[in-house]
């Protein structure tokens, strides 16, 4: 059972930046960030494979950067040019399977963190 612990959420103004971190208890093949705003579905934001191949949602392409430190089993999400619509609970997700579906779909991941809140004010 992989355990995930997120950190780094907070409140910023429009245009600001935040960096989220997610420490995994052991090796994972795929890791991703999802977010869920009130009364909305949880959506995939960005994902990264063990070989550093990345996938981004259109809504964050060019503003967010996902990266990982495999030696530390840690995932990051650098969020720049934040907008009020980025406000959500952000969840770290991970999986050890090589083939399990699309990178930004919930079914792709077996392990989830508890979430960290990001609030962007206008």
Decide: helix, strand or coil at residue 86.
Answer: helix
Reported residue count of the chain is 122
Nearest alpha carbon to residue 33 among 65, 62, 70, 1 = 65
Residue 100 pLDDT exceeds 90: no
pLDDT at 99 over 90: no
Calculate mean pLDDT across residues 46-62. Answer: 97
Structure-block tokens of residue 62: 């060019």
Q: What angle do CA 110, 115, 118 make, to 5 degrees?
A: 140
Cβ neighbours of residue 71 closer than 8 Å, sequence gap 6 or more: none
Q: Are 111 and 45 in contact (CB under 8 A)?
A: no
């Amino acid at each position: 059972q992989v355990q995930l612990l997120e950190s780094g959420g907070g409140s910023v103004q429009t245009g600001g930046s935040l960096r989220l971190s997610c420490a995994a208890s052991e090796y994972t093949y795929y890791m991703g960030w999802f977010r869920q705003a009130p009364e909305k579905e949880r959506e995939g934001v960005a994902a990264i494979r063990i070989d550093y191949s990345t996938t981004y949602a259109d809504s964050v392409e060019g503003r967010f950067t996902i990266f990982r430190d495999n030696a530390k089993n840690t995932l990051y999400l650098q969020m720049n040019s934040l907008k009020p619509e980025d406000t959500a609970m952000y969840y770290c997700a991970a999986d050890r399977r090589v083939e399990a579906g699309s990178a930004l779909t919930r079914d792709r991941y077996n392990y989830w963190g508890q979430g960290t809140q990001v609030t962007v004010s206008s």
